[in-house]
Structure 1
Amino acid sequence: MLQSISGIPIRKECPPGACVCDREALLSQAETDADTDVRILSLTQEQERRLIERIDRINSYEDLQHVSNLLYKQLGVVLHITPSPREVRTVRGFMILLEDRPGLCKKTRQAVPAAIRRCLENNPEIAFTILNAHDLLGDA
């Protein structure tokens, strides 16, 4: 069981059957192919907790964009936040998801969107900016 890759600690493996992250497949691929992107494995449980705390501190749309860009640059994870194709009455009407990729834990895939929903509930102006960015408010 690997504890680190190139001196960088990696996330502990999930209990068998609890996750579909393909962590082991990604690690074995990294052993054979040096170009394999394993940045996502550097998101340990402690760092995930800090990420969630950081998302909870977001207070503007620009800050949300910044965190989204950092997720991509540091972990290779793409965050999508879009209004539902139907109607948006609450923050539940936003589709928030992390793009699937090997090594991305199921818990992280659930925790990050939940934190962003809390952020949108606490900062409705961010939700309105997202709606406006998708031209749903028509610059009202």
Structure 2
Amino acid sequence: MMEAMTTSVPLRSPCPPGACNCGRDPLLEMPDADLRILRLTREEEKRLLARLEMLKDLNDLKHLQQRMFEQLGVRVDVAPGFNEVRTMRGIAIQIDELPGLCRKTRAAIPAAIRRGLENHPEIAFELLNAHDLLRDT
């Protein structure tokens, strides 16, 4: 009776052979592995990227960073780069290495965050101010 009630969580389909080095299969073989990242199906990834592009403010970005860590185990750090920030490319967006995280997804998340910052430059200014814009003067 209980078996009929349990539903399996959909996992991300494997990448084509040779196209990615995400380590999905070895991750599935590990008995005590954290499989949260595999819950990010292609459809869910599209939703996440669209949400990252529609940032409202800096608190919204921080909230999404926290949710990505809680639900997927993905740690995303967003901070001004070490050198002068003239464009959104000067904002450093770092994603920790994580087994099971597809290389395309690892590149798509920072790109979506940058698009969100470009859509709302005031968020970038908030980020710069939060990290002491005038620290070297």
Report the TM-score, using the length of structure 1 for normalisation. 0.88
- Superposed, 1:25-44 pairs within 5 Å as 25-29=26-30, 33=31, 35-44=32-41
Between the aligned partners of 1:85 and 1:20, the Cα distance in structure 2 is 29
What amino acid is the match of 1:118?
A: R
CA shift at 1:52, angstroms?
Answer: 0.8
Unaligned runs of 5+ in 1: 1-5
Separation of aligned partners in 1, 2:14 and 2:110: 22
1:1-140 to 2 correspondence within 5 Å? 7-29=8-30, 33=31, 35-137=32-134
Deviations 1:90-116 (A, max 9, x none): 001011122111000111101110000
Runs (4+) off by over 6 Å: none
- Secondary structure of residue in 2 paired with 1:81: strand
SS at match of 1:9: coil
How many angstroms does 1:126 deviate by? 0.7
Q: Which runs of 5+ in 2 are unaligned?
A: 1-6
Q: How many residues align?
A: 129
Give the alignment's Cα RMSD to 1 decimal.
Answer: 1.2
- The answer to whether the 8 Å contact 2:24/2:100 transfers is yes
Secondary structure (helix, strand or coil) at the match of 1:135 reads: coil
- Partner SS, residue 55 of structure 2: coil
- The SS at the match of 1:97 is strand
**Residues of 2 paired with 1:41 and 1:15: CA distance?**
15
Identical positions, percent: 53
Q: Secondary structure at the match of 2:15?
A: coil
> For 1:113 and 1:47, how far apart are their aligned partners in 2?
16
Instruction: Report the equivalent of 2:3.
Output: none
* TM-score of the aligned structures, taking structure 2 as reference length: 0.89
Task: Give the structure 2 partner of residue 3 of structure 1.
Answer: none
Q: Deviations over 1:15-48 (max 9, x none)?
A: 112111100110011xxx2x32100000000000
Amino acid at match of 1:8: V
Q: Which amino acid aligns with 2:8?
A: G
CA contact (8 A) 1:97 1:109 kept: no
Residues 71 and 78 of structure 1 are in contact (CA less than 8 Å); yes or no, is this contact kept in structure 2? yes
